[in-house]
């Protein structure tokens, strides 16, 4: 594992040192889901680029006894099919991109369920509460294609919007209940919409 991480860091450093245009972007809407997501896009040639994204989801709610953690890594191979002329950057225009994503998600929730007891005639006898702990995890893979618009303003500010979709496959473990629905446990066709804001380095 350590060797893989070192190789990854080495490749990342080599990419940065040999870069043409480099864009650093953040997805502000992910904060609503308690997720920090960061993207780095590097120009490969005049109309192609590679966009790396990584995210971490973290929720620790002691009041409601809810803990969640998740990690995500994604790669997009972008081809710009129409360029805007407002910026010197080649990463400025309309693009199409296949993508692949791997992620891991784990949740620990504690609930209190009320139980009721009735006699044979339907008369109330007693009630009590019961603590239920739910621990579940999911390993997720996604693949698909998106189309997007990236606008580099004044050769500094970057606005990136994309939409598309693909297939998601989830391998689930644990005792998740039907009420604990989360898209991270879903297998099937998925939409993909994103917005990033950042700077050109």
pLDDT surpassing 90 at residue 16: no
User: Would you say 37 and 55 are in contact if contact means Cβ atoms under 8 Å apart?
Assistant: yes
Element (H, E) at 192: strand 188-200
Structure tokens at 69: 């953690």
Q: What is the pLDDT of residues 97-129, one digit of tens each?
A: 999 999 999 988 877 777 788 888 888 887 777
Q: What is the pLDDT of residues 71-98, one digit of tens each?
A: 999 999 999 999 998 888 889 999 999 9
Q: What is the pLDDT of residues 25-50, one digit of tens each?
A: 999 988 888 899 999 999 998 799 99
- Rounded Cα distance between 52 and 199, Å, is 15
First CA to last CA distance, the chain: 31
Q: What is the pLDDT of residues 154-179, one digit of tens each?
A: 889 999 999 999 999 999 998 877 66
User: Would you say 174 and 136 are in contact if contact means Cβ atoms under 8 Å apart?
Assistant: yes
Nearest partner of 47 among 83, 11, 15, judged by Cα: 83
Residue 135 is part of which domain span? 2-200
User: Considering the entire predicted model, what is its pTM?
Assistant: 0.76
**CB atoms near residue 186 (< 10 Å):** 15
Q: Which value, to the nearest 10 degrees, does the dihedral of the CA atoms of residues 82, 86, 92, 93 take? A: -30
**CB atoms near residue 73 (< 10 Å):** 14
Structure tokens at 58: 């973290």
- Rounded Cα distance between 172 and 177, Å, is 12
Which of 116-125, 130-139, 141-150 is modeled with the greatest confidence?
141-150
* Residues paired with residue 112 on neighbouring β-strands, in sequence order: 131
CATH of the domain at 115: 2.40.160
Instruction: Report the number of distinct structural domains present in the chain.
Output: 1
Q: Averaged over 11-19, what is the pLDDT?
A: 50
pLDDT confidence band for 190 (50 / 70 / 90) = very high
C-alpha neighbours within 13 Å on the C-beta side of residue 89: 27
């Amino acid at each position: 594992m350590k060797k893989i991480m070192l190789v990854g860091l080495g490749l990342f450093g080599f990419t940065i040192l040999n870069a043409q245009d480099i864009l650093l972007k953040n997805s502000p809407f992910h904060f609503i889901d308690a997720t920090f997501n960061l993207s780095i896009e590097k120009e490969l040639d005049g109309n192609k680029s590679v966009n790396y994204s990584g995210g971490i989801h973290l929720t620790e709610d002691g009041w409601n006894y809810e803990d969640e953690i998740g990690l995500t890594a994604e790669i997009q191979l972008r081809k710009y099919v129409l360029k805007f002329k407002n910026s010197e950057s080649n990463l400025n225009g309309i693009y199409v991109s296949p993508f692949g994503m791997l992620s891991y998600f784990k949740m620990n929730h504690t609930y209190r369920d009320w139980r009721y007891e009735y006699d044979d005639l339907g008369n109330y006898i007693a009630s009590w509460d019961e603590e239920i702990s739910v621990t579940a995890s999911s390993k997720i893979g996604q693949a698909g294609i998106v189309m997007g618009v990236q606008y580099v303003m004044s050769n500094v500010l970057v606005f990136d919007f994309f939409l598309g979709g693909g297939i998601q496959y989830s391998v689930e473990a644990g005792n998740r209940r039907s009420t604990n629905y989360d898209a991270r446990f879903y297998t099937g066709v998925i939409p993909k919409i994103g917005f990033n804001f950042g700077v050109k380095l």
